Amino acid sequence: MTTWFTRLGVAFFGWLWWLVLPVRRAVARDNLHRALPGAPTHLLRHAVGSVAWGYLELLAGRRVAWTGLEEARGGAVLFTAHLGPWDLCLLAAARIAPLTVFLKVPSNPVAAWLIARLRAHPDVDLEPLPVQGSLAAARRALDRGRVVVFVLDQRHAAGIPVPFFHTPAWTSAAYAALVHRCQPRLFATTQWRTADGRLVAHAQRLHWTIPDDRDEAIAHLTARTQQWLEARVREHPADWWWLHRRWRSPR
């Protein structure tokens, strides 16, 4: 797809959401100004438009330019966030390395059907983690040389509060618990859309010190993931999903 056509498609879907289907627009705007005071609201339109356009790119069979992911083969733990067209990038990653990840089914039935169909492609090695016993299943996946993926930018009511953009955000501790127990190789990824509309994704090897004490390790590692993601959001503010209440405390 040409550069101008991609940029036009992203802009169209962004304005469609903003003017015609403003789902969670107020929440998204409040989140943006809370995290990045003074940031222009066109970043929100670009983020939503980019993701919506990404589903059309899925249908068209567009590939993502991944770098660094080959190094994670042979067993590793990786965390990421909903940066860029997440589903498109995830499916592209599963063509490079065997992935095991807890997957949330999209609420849109058309999107759910499309993603399920593409995940079943023989070139895509994507294994979902079960809701019950997910950590045990993740350990077994590591033993089989798979890459275990955690998406850590969502509010998790059963998690622990750690700073995210200077405000406590309830975050899942499962990543840190698995890392402390298994001591695996660590990676994190960033996905974004360039100014000319191309999709780029990069996996970075992390050499983090893991405290011996379990509670200390969980608190330290969970907080550090949010610091890393916060830095990536600052680098690519127009590519992060802002449509949920990230800082809402559990009842």
CA angle 218, 75, 106 (to 5 degrees): 75
Nearest to 7 by CA among 194, 234, 235, 238: 194
User: Which value, in Å, is the radius of gyration of the alpha carbons in the chain?
Assistant: 18
Map tokens 């402390």 to a residue: 180
pLDDT at residue 111 in the model: 67
Q: Please give the model's pTM, rounded to 2 decimal places.
A: 0.92
pLDDT at residue 104 in the model: 67
pLDDT at residue 109 in the model: 74
**Alpha-carbon span 54 to 1, nearest angstrom:** 12
pLDDT at residue 107 in the model: 64
pLDDT by position in tens, the chain (length 251)? 568 899 999 999 999 999 999 989 999 999 999 999 999 999 999 999 999 999 889 888 788 889 999 999 999 999 999 999 988 899 899 999 999 997 766 666 766 676 677 677 778 899 988 878 899 999 999 999 999 999 999 999 889 999 999 999 999 999 999 999 999 999 999 999 998 888 999 999 999 999 999 999 999 999 999 999 999 999 999 999 888 899 998 76
